[in-house]
Structure 1
Amino acid sequence: MTDEYRESGEAVDSVLTALADPMRRRLLELLAAQGEATATTLAQPLPVSRQAVVKHLGVLDAAGLVSAGRVGREVRYRVRPAALDATARWMAALATDWDRRLANIKRIAEAAERDARSTRSD
């Protein structure tokens, strides 16, 4: 396994782990809609505390899904799409690979069925 593949795989793992939590997905949705927001603003429509939001944002930040920037006394968060894009590319490649494998299985099964029919008709 190459270092590049390992790093890419680790990044995808981190993104998928972060996105496994519905609250973190909701936070990403809110940030995408608002463009930029503080933890306090994000917590307002949610059934969790500001502190919980900050913890979730920390996981999203560690996965490369959001970035934080200080503006005066506030910390503002925004979505970083690169990690999502890399994960989407990985998922698309995986889907393509599975489509190829399933097509091969279908061809083998169809050939076996044709062979079985020709053997029966002899």
Structure 2
Amino acid sequence: MAAQDDARPWGGFFVIDEAQVQAFVGTYFEGLSVDSLRIAGKLSPKILVVAPEQRLSWQYHHRRAEIWRVVQGPVGVATSEDDEQGVVKSYQAGERIVIRQGERHRLVGQQGWGILAEIW
């Protein structure tokens, strides 16, 4: 682990050392190669932990996409092409979520703690 922040109002995250990216991808994103994920040369693997009934900010990214895999769920995810938040969809453990570059999104905690593997 390279860093962690467990003091967020919604939960926290753990940043995985980039030297461990191959093992991380093999564990959480089977069927995807590290080279296919590497868009800007560097990958940022993380574990996100979201508390019940909490939510991350409404956000988007100009330069990157994100891929999430639900490790423990359910979790909710809202997406939209504009600034109007869409419906919160529920995802269960094992499901993969692809957030496209520029797509607005928000992670929402549901019942129990949600845990996701994230890579971008």
- State whether TM-score is above 0.5: no
TM-score (structure 1 length as normaliser): 0.22
Which is richer in strand?
A: 2
TM-score (structure 2 length as normaliser): 0.23
> Larger Rg: 1 or 2?
1
Tell which has more relative contact order, 1 or 2 (C-alpha 8 A, sep 6+): 2
